[in-house]
Amino acid sequence: MSIVNVQNLSKVFGNKDNRNKVLDSVSFKIEKGEFVSLMGASGSGKSTLLYLIGGLDKPTEGDIFINDEDINKMKEKKLAALRRKDIGFVFQFYNLVQNLTVEENIMLPVIMDGQKEKDYKDRLEKILRIIGLEDKRKALPNQLSGGQQQRVSIARAIILSPSLILADEPIGNLDSKSGKEVMDLFKSINKEEGITILQVTHSKEASEYGTRTILLKDGKIINSDIE
């Protein structure tokens, strides 16, 4: 079973006079356990593709299946649950809640999902250990470095054990040492937790943490070496 299955996906922005076909009948699959890097020039549609896969935007044409379910046929309530539980999002600028502590930020998805915090006590400890921030659990985001904040946002993305992480230039704002720490963390999450990862990156070095690269150009995939 593929985690992600994209079929003949097109996305057009603008109107008749100013038509911008950003994705042009794109098809590919991502299997469970893969760590895929999505690359391409600025404006080539990487973020657009990621948002479509995450159900944050609707395609002009084509289908997207997540765990074999067509997300554009889902009722809004089911899609919201999929976004909350099955997909973890990581963005370039962390998007942490500034007045919540590290552990409160990590636990946000649990609360949003209406579950009991105490059921996640052990999971929280495990995740704090994985991200190496056990001693910063009571810190606020502005007391952390960029790399540490990104590690917290990754922890928040995996607390509910999603099947897929979608990361949009997760190290785009970090120095090379912090970037490497974040990439090592993604790699270990992919391996140890078996979470499938799709990351957008401009960095060849970061792309090499993945097992496969998809390259977007002029709205099309110009390589997708499916293993």
Ligand X SMILES: Nc1ncnc2c1ncn2[C@@H]1O[C@H](COP(=O)(O)OP(=O)(O)OP(=O)(O)O)[C@@H](O)[C@H]1O
Which spans of this chain sit near ligand X (rule: CB under 6 A)? 13, 20, 22, 40, 42-48
44 binds Mg ion (CB under 5 A): no
136 binds, among ligand X, Mg ion, none (CB under 5 to 8 A by kind): none
CA 91 from chain centre, in angstroms, equals: 7
Please answer whether residues 163 and 196 qualify as being in contact, where contact means their C-beta atoms are separated by less than 8 angstroms.
Answer: yes
Binding mask 47-86 for Mg ion (x = CB under 5 A): x---------------------------------------
Burial of 129 (0-12, 13-18, 19+ CB in 10 A): exposed
Closer Cβ to Mg ion, 49 or 107, answer by number: 49
Interface stretch with Mg ion, choices 45-53, 55-63, 76-84, 175-183 (CB under 5 A): 45-53
**Secondary structure (3-state) at 158:** helix
**Other beta carbons less than 10 A from residue 11's beta carbon:** 22
Cα–Cα nearest to 50, from 69, 74, 81, 26: 26
201 binds Mg ion (CB under 5 A): no
Closer Cβ to ligand X, 15 or 98, answer by number: 15
> Which residues form the interface with Mg ion (CB under 5 A)?
47
